[in-house]
Amino acid sequence: MSGCKKSYSVYMHTHTAGSVPSVWDERKMPCVFDTRIEAEREIADNIITRLQEFIDGERDFEGAMTVDEYIVAVTIQPDGSIVDEDGRRYA
């Protein structure tokens, strides 16, 4: 595993595709975070955004309060691709 880097991504479970990344970058790749706390802060920021949308009347209360996201350990390969715990590769 030389040259690989352990990181974290934010995932969510969908009924159609199962567990999938929920935060993507401009290259259409899952966002990766160097530490678990950085990934947790991303989820917290998403929660704050949803709560503000509720306060602004743009979202219902239940939608604002539901947290479907969770942290998954991923490995960044030397070629830049990302492999999650289930072996799914994003390139």
H, E, C per residue of the chain:
CCCCEEEEEEEEEECCCEEEECCECCCCCECCECCHHHHHHHHHHHHHHHHHHHHCCCCCHHHHHCCCEEEEEEEECCCCCEEECCCCEEC
pLDDT number for residue 56: 98
- Whether residue 31 is predicted with pLDDT greater than 70 in this model: the reply is yes
Distance CA 38, CA 23 (A): 13
Q: What is the pLDDT of residues 43-83, one digit of tens each?
A: 999 999 999 999 999 999 999 999 999 999 999 999 999 99
Q: How confident is the model at residue 2 (pLDDT cuts 50, 70, 90)?
A: low
* pTM score, whole prediction: 0.86
